[in-house]
Structure 1
Amino acid sequence: MKGVLLVNLGSPDSTDPEDVKRYLDEFLMDGRVIDLPKWLRTLIVKGIILNTRPKKSAEAYSRIWWDEGSPLIVLSERLRDKVDDMTAVPVVLAMRYGNPSIKAGLQELYDKGVKEVLLMPLYPQFAMATTETILVLAEEVRKQHFPEMSFTNVPAFYNHPDYVRVLAESIRDSLEGKDWEHLLFSYHGVPERHIKKSDITKSHCRIDGQCCKTPSPAHQYCYRHQCYETTRQVAEYLELKQGTYSTSFQSRLGIDPWLKPATDKTINGFAEKGLKKLAVVTPAFVSDCLETLEEIGLEADEEFKERGGEEFHLIPCLNDNEAWVKVIARWVDEWAHQPEVRVN
């Protein structure tokens, strides 16, 4: 029997600082998130970050928390339910960090009699700290607890025509009737070293402005290339004029070099240069979460207007958009009736 495991990032169980601390501990101690030697990662995370950040993060979560719970969890559950209703195989949801865990998700599928699993990380672009860490942990859990199961992994879908279409149409729908001067594609940032570590050629990625435009096998796992390619294809679909859109990277952590340009500096710079009406879309996420609702929807909005901006439009993630649900359901059904998944 076949089944599907959708996997998203995760969220604290509540806005209580202790729950946030527990979540941050699991998240930041992941060696693919902070890829430092374990002794140094432990010193930084448990010795510094977990003694200072949970309270501040809890306050940030409180600003966007819904009555039903974490927006990311609620939206992911809605997506799961709608896809499950449209497909012939069971669809289960898990989180890389927090609850429900990947082990719990696989257990639920196992209890339903599922032996063949379509594993779908809910990230359009591949990155060490997102897709890779999900695939690695899921395989570890499978080997230890469900050895009779087999996985088919959904590859990064950043350039799949279905994804590009539904993302572009969601942007068009969100901005219909709104006046805007510039559309910013803001992706979650990663350290530059992650890009080079993911380079399977060990020589292509130089982060010099040209390598992402030069064809290479490295692009299969290059987060930076995939982000810029998503922007390019969506802009082409929407027939956006050059100069009316751009790409940036948000959520820096630590002092090491991260992908540039930085979203906060970019948005503030727009306002300081006299731009009045800005729209922002966050295509590294398919579900709205702290990084979209609070970091962009509240903080960036406030800073933009403090510097002279007038209108700030945050475009929602795909969430449980009906067109997006239909795309996933079709991918699932194609896989269920084919020997290999056909999403690329």
Structure 2
Amino acid sequence: MPAAADPPTGVLLLQIGTPESPSVGDVRRYLREFLSDPEVLDMAAPARWLLLNTVILPFRPRRTARAYRAIWTEEGSPLTLATRALVAGLQTELGDGFVVRSANSTGHPSIPSTVGELVEAGARSLVVMPLFPQFSRATSGGLTDRARKEAGSRNGDVRINVVSDFPDHPGFIGAVTDVARPLLDRFEPDHVLFSYHGLPTRQIRAADPSGSWCLTSSGCCDSLGDHNRHCYRAQCFATTRALVGSLGLAEGGWSVAFQSRMRSQRWIGPFTEDILAELRASGHRRLAVFTPSFVADCLETLEEIGIRARERWLELGGDDFLLIPSVNAHPIWVRGAAELIREAATEGVSG
């Protein structure tokens, strides 16, 4: 009698998600669900309800729907398409011993339904991988908690291992470099900007176990160590240092900034919109922009930077502007992600 096959390892790739369509109604539903998450709007429930229902939802859905329409394709959301391609690439790379799926915190496919699908496929161990290079509670932490909770509610013993972040992993850095290098060679920028998604300063301080390191000095993110291992801002600078080295960028030829801030709160800086003005005032004319807090092109890369930041740069008198695409399902990234997943799958204890 042949031996029973070993159960497969489930792989759960996690994203925030996207509206079902760029219609105002679908965008409103998406924003309501997404921004109701206490990890995203980390404030007292009554204050979150007031902000959401009296400030955000009456006005933002129409504006955000226009932004989504500007990047939507005939096949759907760019984020959805890129994630599907990554799932397919990883399934091929990892082989029959793994079952790869993706899920969203908001919208479809949902985390509960996808965990259920993996368990029904026979998986008794899951590798959970939020698709964000740098760790934050608002994204990676909250998504992982949801996956743990859902796996724990299932009958049987489902082990969870986690790829929590990969800010300077060679597979990620190598893929970004391979995407960017030929584009930079043709474009010949006179400056390179690394624009990361912003976070409220209180979330950065909350990640500091000592309470005395993060955001207390101008050099607090100059290195990554035990004191700031889970600091989102420090990991962004670690990504930048790795890319600067890999691309061979000259000192003074690059900057770091943070985008997508909410003006009603104090967010980490410097802000991308301010840096654009400063770079033009310094005489720069040809700007290339990376968005390495995302592995897949989405609203924040294609519309916020690729359309609005480009328009602002040209309004300021710049000559040209280049958005470096995300790694999406680039072969080097597929191999790098597979390496991270295999390493996590062999860990003997829950990640």
Q: Name the residue aligned to 1:173.
A: 182
Mark the CA change 1:333 to 1:156 in structure 2 (over 3 Å): closer, same or farther.
closer
- Counterparts of 2:222 and 2:319 in 1: how far apart (Å)? 35
Q: Which amino acid aligns with 1:48?
A: V
2:326 corresponds to 1:317? yes
Pick aligned residue for 1:128 from 132, 137, 142: 137
Pick aligned residue for 1:50 from 29, 38, 57: 57
Q: Which amino acid aligns with 1:314?
A: L
Deviating more after overlay: 66-75 vs 97-106: 97-106
After superposition, give the CA deviation of every residue in 1:11-31 in whole Å (9 maximum; x if it has no partner).
001011111111111111111
After superposition, give the CA deviation of every residue in 1:301-340 in whole Å (9 maximum; x if it has no partner).
0110011111100000000111111112233344455647
Whether the 8 Å CA contact 2:224–2:238 is kept in 1: the answer is no
2:229 corresponds to 1:220? yes
- Counterparts of 1:290 and 1:274 in 2: how far apart (Å)? 29
- Counterparts of 1:282 and 1:75 in 2: how far apart (Å)? 15
- Counterparts of 1:207 and 1:252 in 2: how far apart (Å)? 21
- Counterparts of 2:36 and 2:244 in 1: how far apart (Å)? 37
Q: Name the residue aligned to 1:99.
A: 108
Pick aligned residue for 2:251 from 227, 242, 259: 242
Correspondences of 1:285-324 after superposition (within 5 Å): 285-324=294-333
- Counterparts of 1:82 and 1:301 in 2: how far apart (Å)? 31
Give how far 1:146 is off: 5.3
Q: Name the residue aligned to 2:3.
A: none
Q: Name the residue aligned to 1:21.
A: 28
After superposition, give the CA deviation of every residue in 1:209-252 in whole Å (9 maximum; x if it has no partner).
12223664232210010001110121012221111011000001
2:167 corresponds to 1:158? yes
Pick aligned residue for 1:200 from 190, 196, 209: 209
Whether the 8 Å CA contact 1:201–1:217 is kept in 2: the answer is no
Q: Which amino acid aligns with 1:67?
A: E
Whether the 8 Å CA contact 2:193–2:255 is kept in 1: the answer is yes
Deviating more after overlay: 330-339 vs 246-255: 330-339
Correspondences of 1:135-150 after superposition (within 5 Å): 135-145=144-154, 148-150=157-159
- Counterparts of 1:214 and 1:70 in 2: how far apart (Å)? 36
- Counterparts of 2:183 and 2:109 in 1: how far apart (Å)? 31
Mark the CA change 1:143 to 1:335 in structure 2 (over 3 Å): closer, same or farther.
closer
Give how far 1:36 is off: 0.5
Q: Which amino acid aligns with 2:334?
A: V
Calculate percent identity across the aligned residue pairs: 37
2:198 corresponds to 1:189? yes
Mark the CA change 1:15 to 1:146 in structure 2 (over 3 Å): closer, same or farther.
farther
Q: Extract unaligned runs of 5+ from structure 2.
A: 1-7
Whether the 8 Å CA contact 1:118–1:154 is kept in 2: the answer is yes
Q: Name the residue aligned to 1:76.
A: 83
Whether the 8 Å CA contact 1:334–1:341 is kept in 2: the answer is no
Deviating more after overlay: 194-203 vs 60-69: 194-203
Deviating more after overlay: 169-178 vs 58-67: 169-178
Mark the CA change 1:125 to 1:144 in structure 2 (over 3 Å): closer, same or farther.
same
Give how far 1:147 is off: 5.5
Task: Tell me how many residue pairs correspond in the alignment.
Answer: 342
Mark the CA change 1:171 to 1:39 in structure 2 (over 3 Å): closer, same or farther.
same
Q: Name the residue aligned to 1:12.
A: 19
Q: Extract unaligned runs of 5+ from structure 1.
A: none
Q: Which amino acid aligns with 2:55?
A: I
Whether the 8 Å CA contact 1:271–1:305 is kept in 2: the answer is no
Superposed CA RMSD in Å reads: 1.8
Whether the 8 Å CA contact 2:171–2:335 is kept in 1: the answer is no
Give the secondary structure class of the aligned counterpart of 1:9.
Answer: strand
Whether the 8 Å CA contact 1:248–1:261 is kept in 2: the answer is yes
Deviating more after overlay: 65-74 vs 144-153: 144-153
- Counterparts of 1:122 and 1:102 in 2: how far apart (Å)? 14
- Counterparts of 1:57 and 1:290 in 2: how far apart (Å)? 9
2:69 corresponds to 1:40? no
Whether the 8 Å CA contact 1:274–1:308 is kept in 2: the answer is no
2:262 corresponds to 1:268? no
Mark the CA change 1:146 to 1:35 in structure 2 (over 3 Å): closer, same or farther.
farther
Give how far 1:47 is off: 2.3
